[in-house]
């Protein structure tokens, strides 16, 4: 490039989420600040522009675009090359979009930006206390989107004609509401209203009425961006227990929405990293450590665990509801409003009818929700999000892959935590949280979300991929689609897909050693796997390690009746007389023992998830699980940091299939003896988990002599104690360890692995 005194000109192309997010006004302001001339316009691929001016100014411009774009924007690629200077331009202009323009990406829903929050509480502002204010830097996006390009006519704002003031802002390049499609105000936009428990609209300020109801201990339904929640005062134990009873959610943890960080710190300890991510525009629910795990301030009515799911307000309506201006609480339970086993409710009339007798009031609004999007749930691990579920605030923002090999591949995921992945060019679009596909309403949501994804982003499937299990509803859907579209279908083993998901998450391509621990998945030998050690890559894999199989009396019944698994473990280890006195009465015990002895209706699973179930039942005496994943979560909570455990015996057997299996029997015998001798439950729980971590290290030493990179995946690694301890042990021995950050480690993220494997097979 030339000397600073001579003007230079560059042509640039920018791809990513750069349309409908205030990107062109941002470029306009930045060019003016740097005294650059030129132009910008939208194209089918993103944004195209030319800049002319001093070399140093252009460099500063490019650096700012890369490192500090608008909050909703994501700059994936910026291609730059020199062109001859023009001269004679007097400023920077926005040119008309090129023909056929359609944004290839859409932004997720994001929390109000600081500028909008300032307006929200400015009495002189025309949007003072208006629950739907937004701008190009924040607000609803995916939840209101019907079609692309992202124009107002293609959103649920189409029925709200802009008033002259909003239209003027929308057309003013200098305004931060320039081309903000949801732009609105109290004159022309959506409105909130409050209904009593019978659905009758109440006169007065709807926010104030809702706050007063919450302060009085009532339960109200609150409509957000991606669904309707049930809310109550989080510190009112009677209200919380009443909510649990009405919703039939007796034990599963409840999330809370807090006014601000100070309120959060009344419940939880918060690290600097957690503060940063809590306040991010994406506003997921974060799992934080309780300040007190025992005593009256343990908030056990919210969660039996030592963590609580906490989020900060993510819409202006939630900000107002939590501000206490009319006496409402600073912390509210916020749990999805859904009928038992169904998806979260979206529609006002459905909410009033379906929640009659559950909600004492309804804070609703008249902007339709187009795309259901539950709250995201994450913990902080290694300074980043570690997803339990990836949804609002993240979907539908795609993952960017190293190349376009996944283009046109559609992966159908698993079943209990259903989710799909669709490839287009270098992008992979992941579904928002969907849930258990065995439920008819959830399966319908899955189908709708899948068709919406294909339509919105123009994905044209050329190959399909599913799980190996023939009875998964996702597999059935994949087979139906394969037949209907006459497309090839690849079926991928469950745990290999988990391993591949972690590889794709971390952009790994070569051979790895996979530690995949989950509940159940069909193995290549026709048996149920779940505690696996794999060697392989995206092309193939080999099962080299596992655990001794656990007999499950009655099959699926043992998943809920975890006392059955405890009985099986104790029977297998030969310690029934020692172990059984600790268990609560187990219905049909003699019949179950006969089933075990005669091997009748006792399918076997090498499942770490089922091992956790059985050990939790042995330690606590509980024979029933209240929800999926309860035993691993509560066993983790039992293991108090100040109570040391001991490493139980580890033993291994190598079968005729050359798979090295951890023999659980010595461990079960030892911990059962400890329990019988009065060793504290906290010590036994910690000892059990420490033994599993030691087992992971010993298997890695024996089965991964090349010290290949280690990837950790599977729902059991939602247990953060295991995740941290296994990572620490392996890294101390020189292994490079990878875990998930862009997708969930549970079955929700498995579609990414299916897609990565299919991409490799199609391009080998």
Examine the pLDDT at 103 and tell me if it is beyond 60: no
To the nearest 5 percent, what fractions of the chain are helix, strand and coil? Answer: 35, 20, 45
8 Å CB contact between 92 and 18: no
Residue 630 has what pLDDT? 87
- Hey, which of 207-211, 343-347, 553-557 has the most confident mean pLDDT? 207-211
Contact assessment for residue 309 and residue 253, using Cβ atoms and an 8 Å cutoff: yes
For the segment 138-165, the average pLDDT, to the nearest whole number, is: 93
pLDDT tens by residue, 691-705: 999 999 999 999 999
Please identify which residue in the block is written with the tokens 């979260």: 344
653's CB contacts (< 8 A; 6+ apart) are 548, 660, 661, 663
Burial code (b: 16+ CB inside 10 Å, e: under 16) for 265-296 equals eebbebeeebeebbebbbbbbbbbbbeebeee
| pLDDT(628) > 60 | yes
pLDDT at 88: 84
Residue 19 reports pLDDT greater than 90: no
413-470: pLDDT as tens digits:
999 899 999 999 999 999 999 999 998 999 999 999 999 999 999 999 999 999 999 9
Q: What is the mean pLDDT of residues 544-563?
A: 95
Find out whether 111 and 135 touch, Cβ atoms under 8 Å.
no
Q: Above 60 in pLDDT, residue 4?
A: no
pLDDT in tens, 470-484: 999 999 999 999 999
CB-CB contact of 428 with 755 (8 Å): yes
DSSP states along 669-695: HHHHHHHHTT--HHHHHHHHHHHHHHH
Q: Which residue has the higher pLDDT, 290 or 104?
A: 290
- pLDDT over 60 at 101, yes or no: no
Whole-angstrom Cα Rg for the chain: 28
Query: In sequence order, what are the residues at sequence separation of 6 or more whose Cβ sits closer than 8 angstroms to the Cβ of residue 35?
Result: 53, 54, 57
Query: Longest Cα pair distance anywhere in the chain, in angstroms?
Result: 94
3-7, 36-40, 279-283, 400-404: segment of lowest average pLDDT:
3-7
**pLDDT tens across 269-303, in order?**
999 999 999 999 999 999 999 987 666 666 888 98
CA neighbours within 13 Å on the CB side: how many for 376? Answer: 31
Per-residue pLDDT tens over the stretch 590-616: 999 999 999 999 999 999 999 999 999
- For the cut 50, the answer to whether the pLDDT of residue 726 exceeds it is yes
The predicted model gives 79-90 an average pLDDT of 91
Please check the confidence at residue 178 and state whether its pLDDT lies above 50: yes
Residue 3 has pLDDT above 70, yes or no: no
Asked whether 219 and 359 are in contact (CB, 8 A), the reply is yes
Q: Say if CB 105 and CB 427 are below 8 A apart.
A: yes
pLDDT score at 341:
67
> Is it the case that residue 20 has pLDDT exceeding 80?
no
Q: Is the pLDDT of residue 186 over 60?
A: yes
Question: At residue 15, does pLDDT exceed 90?
Answer: no
Residue 124 above 80 pLDDT?
A: yes
pLDDT at 98 over 80: no
Burial of 394 (0-12, 13-18, 19+ CB in 10 A): buried
Averaged pLDDT, 139-161: 92
């Amino acid at each position: 490039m030339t000397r600073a005194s001579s003007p230079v000109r560059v042509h640039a192309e920018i791809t990513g989420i750069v349309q409908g997010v205030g990107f062109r006004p941002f470029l306009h302001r930045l060019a003016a600040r740097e005294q650059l001339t030129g132009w910008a316009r939208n194209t089918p691929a993103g944004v195209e522009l030319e800049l002319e001016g001093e070399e140093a100014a252009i460099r500063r411009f490019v650096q700012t675009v890369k490192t500090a774009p608008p909050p909703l924007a994501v700059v994936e690629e910026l291609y730059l090359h020199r062109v001859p200077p023009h001269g004679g331009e007097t400023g920077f202009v926005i040119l008309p979009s090129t023909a056929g323009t359609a944004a290839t990406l859409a932004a997720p829903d994001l929390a109000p930006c600081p500028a909008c929050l300032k307006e929200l509480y400015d009495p002189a502002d025309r949007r003072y206390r208006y629950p739907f204010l937004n701008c190009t830097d924040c607000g609803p996006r995916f939840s209101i989107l019907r079609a692309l390009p992202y124009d107002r006519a293609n959103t649920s704002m189409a029925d709200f004609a802009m008033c002259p003031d909003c239209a003027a802002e929308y057309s003013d390049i200098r305004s931060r509401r320039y081309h903000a499609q949801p732009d609105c105000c109290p004159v022309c936009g959506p409105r909130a209203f409050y209904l009593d428990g019978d659905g009758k609209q109440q006169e007065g300020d709807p926010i104030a009425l809702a706050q007063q109801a919450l302060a009085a201990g009532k339960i109200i339904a609150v409509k957000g961006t991606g669904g309707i929640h049930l809310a109550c005062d989080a510190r009112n134990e009677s209200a919380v227990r009443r909510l649990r009873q009405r919703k039939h959610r007796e034990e599963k943890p409840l999330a809370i929405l807090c006014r601000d960080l100070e309120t959060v710190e009344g419940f939880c300890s918060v690290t600097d990293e957690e503060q940063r991510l809590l306040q991010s525009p994406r506003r997921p629910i974060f799992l934080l450590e309780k300040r007190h795990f025992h005593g009256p301030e343990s908030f056990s009515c919210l969660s039996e665990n030592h963590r609580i799911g906490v989020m900060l307000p993510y819409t202006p309506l939630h900000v107002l509801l939590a501000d206490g201006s009319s006496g409402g609480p600073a912390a509210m339970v916020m749990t999805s409003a859904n009928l038992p086993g169904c998806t979260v409710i979206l529609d006002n009339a459905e909410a009033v009818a379906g929640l009659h007798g559950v909600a004492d009031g309804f804070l609703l609004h008249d902007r339709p929700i187009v795309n259901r999007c539950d709250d995201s749930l994450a913990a902080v691990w290694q300074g980043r999000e570690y997803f339990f579920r990836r949804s609002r605030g993240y979907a539908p923002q795609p993952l960017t892959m190293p190349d376009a090999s996944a283009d046109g591949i559609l992966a159908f995921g698993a079943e209990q935590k259903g989710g799909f992945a669709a490839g287009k060019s270098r992008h992979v679009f992941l579904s928002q949280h969907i849930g258990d596909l065995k439920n008819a309403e959830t399966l319908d949501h899955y189908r709708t979300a899948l068709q919406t994804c294909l339509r919105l982003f123009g994905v044209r499937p050329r190959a399909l991929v599913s799980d190996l299990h023939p009875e998964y509803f996702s597999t059935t859907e994949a087979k139906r689609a394969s037949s209907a579209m006459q497309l090839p279908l690849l079926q991928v083993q469950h745990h290999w897909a988990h391993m591949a998901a972690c590889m794709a998450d971390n952009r790994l391509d070569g051979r790895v050693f996979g530690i995949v621990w989950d509940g159940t998945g069909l193995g290549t030998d026709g048996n149920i796997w779940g505690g696996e050690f794999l060697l392989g890559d995206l092309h193939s894999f080999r099962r080299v390690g596992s655990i001794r199989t656990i007999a499950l009396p009655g099959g699926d019944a043992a998943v809920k009746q975890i006392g059955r698994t405890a009985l099986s473990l104790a029977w297998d280890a030969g310690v029934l007389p020692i172990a059984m006195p600790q268990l609560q009465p187990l219905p049909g015990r003699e019949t179950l023992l006969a089933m075990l002895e005669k091997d009748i209706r006792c399918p076997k699973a090498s499942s770490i998830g089922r091992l956790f179930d059985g050990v939790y039942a042995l330690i606590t005496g509980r024979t029933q699980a209240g929800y999926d994943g309860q035993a691993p979560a509560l066993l983790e909570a039992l293991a108090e940091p100040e109570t040391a455990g001991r490493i139980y015996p580890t033993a291994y057997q190598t079968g005729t299939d050359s798979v090295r299996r951890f023999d659980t029997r010595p461990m079960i015998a030892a911990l059962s003896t400890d329990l019988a001798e009065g060793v504290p439950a906290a010590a036994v729980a910690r000892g059990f988990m420490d033994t599993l971590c030691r087992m992971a290290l010993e298997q890695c030493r024996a089965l991964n002599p090349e010290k290949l990179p280690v990837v950790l995946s599977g729902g059991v690694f939602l247990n953060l104690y295991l995740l941290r301890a296994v990572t620490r042990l392996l890294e101390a021995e020189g292994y490079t360890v990878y875990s998930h950050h862009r997708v969930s480690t549970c079955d929700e993220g498995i579609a990414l692995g299916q897609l990565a494997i299919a991409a490799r097979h199609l391009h080998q």
